[in-house]
Structure 1
């Protein structure tokens, strides 16, 4: 599928994949696609940053290549490594066969045959229907040394392999970088990207997301869930629930055949919505009931 040619087309593209985006997000996604610049998305966990890359890949009909970041991630896991076991086997077979040509053997050992491609290198290769969508997920979990390595890839869409030379992408991949902002991303990397902060949605957009993802939920329950989640995010919690938790909670309530919220149901299912015991204890009992009463008394 060709890339969208306008903001409205980009908004429709995201919508076709089930993503309810506001115009600001559709605009920055359009510019990222149009200018062929990586897009850095920051925001709290569970607000839908990763989902944007998934929806783009599915809607554009392109493969999704995901690099899940973690502490200690290095070039061997992210870019490439050599098949050392295969190389050692080739060396032993050559020695056993006699007539060893060292120069020829060396050129064969460090050839494409023994190269193991990891996500970043695979993302530089053409895919069916166009360049792939590369998702570099939770970059803030890595260290600054790995960030520095990414600079060449995100600016020139190439990597240098000492034994083979420079590998360049014939067509730049669509790059989405996400961060939960557990630490600041370096300015040098930010300069290579367009930037957007993905915030919690307002009540209207969150209800639209719930309708899209869980169309079978009773309307009153959907509205109660969204209103309660919007209210609980204003509380002093260690970790406010994201959209992912809203969807999980609504799904759980539907499984319990609920048609509306009541204090006992909220208290019994807070573990689906909140992920820290201190937050659950703070909200159980009277506070949850007070929030629910507040939600029901507010104009809809």
Structure 2
């Protein structure tokens, strides 16, 4: 195996800014096995990350990655470097973050993954207050209904309903009492009788919601200990909650949405509810993050704001 030769002079040069950035890029690629995902974590382009890796390999004179059109893997030299650099860079980040204890407010960047269906309602007011109270804090929010591995994709934390999380995650409850609602326009119900039970939805036109990847959302109901999941049907399928509500307002069918998203239409009479007693309080909402990762001052500020 080729050796990476570093003398005392080159050891000192390794801490120069550009070279430190190369090492940080190397660690990101080694962690994710992807230049694209490393670029997302680093807040830069995949081409910039690739350039940093080529520069690092040229400087040390050793290939660090095997690259194909589909895969990225570490060479033996790359594995050795990654094993040494990972803990070192973590220590450096934690040391810099500890400077927050000397400041009135935290600084740094926090990356959050949030379901698109609820992002605006959960974060809207919180973001404004959080950033005003912490001028040194930067937030990067990715709102998607795609199931995301927050560690693999470089997020500091994510937000989910009360789903089962892996044991290496810490979950903090940030919202309780969430409900879904089945809504339709008054025009839709002019010539139709509102369903009394979920089983009657087979006689109604429903607007279907598709997750990224194409999976359709089944409508879930509970009453008196009975749980029902209905695979609804209708001519319209959308992957956007705003379009879903808009289509219901236009009388194109019934929609199954988080009730806060339907609230404006319910208040102004453009929407009416049905099957209300079959829509109990849903799962709580949690912010979660890796238990083994250092919790930065910025993330602590986000957690405190969302809990409040």
**Fold agreement, TM-score > 0.5:** no
Q: TM-score with structure 1 length normalisation?
A: 0.25
The structure where strand makes up a greater share of residues is 2
TM-score normalised by length of structure 2:
0.24
Q: Which has the higher helix share?
A: 1
